[in-house]
Amino acid sequence: MRSRRLEEQIFKGLMIASLTLVLVVLAGIIFITIYKGAPALTLSMLTETPKGGYYLGKEGGIANAIVGSLYLGLGASFCALLLSVPVAFGLQKEYTGWRFASFTKLVLDVLWGIPSIVYGAFGFVVMAYFGLRASLLGGIIVLTLLMLPIMVRSMEEVIRTIPLELKEVSYALGTTRIETTMAVVLRQALPGMVTAVLLAFGRGIGDAASILFTAGYTDYIPRSLFDPVASLPLAVFFQIGTPIPEVQERAYASALILLLIVFVVSIVSRILSHRFSKHIVR
Q: How far is residue 128 from each of residues 117, 125, 133, 144, 211, measured CA to CA in Å? A: 16, 5, 7, 19, 14
Number of residues that bind other proteins (CB under 8 A): 27
- Closest CB to other proteins among residues 71, 89: 89
Give the whole-angstrom CA distance, residue 42 versus residue 14.
43
In the complex, the smallest distance separating the C-beta of residue 3 from other proteins, rounded to whole angstroms, is 40
**Interface with other proteins includes 122 (CB under 8 A)?**
no
Q: Is residue 99 involved in binding other proteins (CB under 8 A)?
A: no
CA atoms within 13 A on the CB side of 225: 7
Question: Is-contact 74 229, C-beta < 8 A?
Answer: no
Q: CB-wise, 171 or 238, nearer to other proteins?
A: 171
Cα–Cα–Cα angle for 249, 253, 255, nearest 5°? 115
Answer yes or no whether residue 278 interacts with other proteins by CB under 8 A: yes
Q: Tell me which H or E stretch contains 239.
A: helix 232-240
3-state helix, strand, coil in the chain (%, to 5): 75, 0, 25
Q: Of residues 54-83, which lie at the interface with other proteins (CB under 8 A)?
A: none
Residue 102 CA to residue 123 CA, distance in Å, equals 27
Among 46, 114, 169, 271, binds other proteins (CB under 8 A): 169
Q: Does 176 bind other proteins (CB under 8 A)?
A: yes
Considering the rule CB under 8 A, would residue 183 count as an interface residue with other proteins? Answer: yes
Q: Say how far apart CA 181 and CA 24 lie, in whole Å.
A: 43
Distance CA 78, CA 106 (A): 24
Among 7, 8, 109, 168, binds other proteins (CB under 8 A): 168
* Rounded-to-integer distance, Cα 224 and Cα 182, Å: 35
**How many whole angstroms separate alpha carbon 39 and alpha carbon 29?**
16
Query: Which residues in 206-245 contact other proteins (CB under 8 A)?
Result: none
Q: Which of 166, 221, 240, 262 binds other proteins (CB under 8 A)?
A: 166
The single residue among 113, 165, 223, 243 that binds other proteins, judged by CB under 8 A, is: 165
Which of these ranges, 100-108, 130-138, 148-156, 177-185, lies near other proteins under the rule CB under 8 A? Answer: 177-185
> Binding to other proteins by residue 282, rule CB under 8 A?
yes
Q: Is residue 164 part of the contact set for other proteins (CB under 8 A)?
A: yes
Quick one: 248 or 277, whose CB is closer to other proteins?
A: 277
Binding site for other proteins (CB under 8 A): 93-94, 98, 163-176, 179, 183-184, 187-188, 278-282
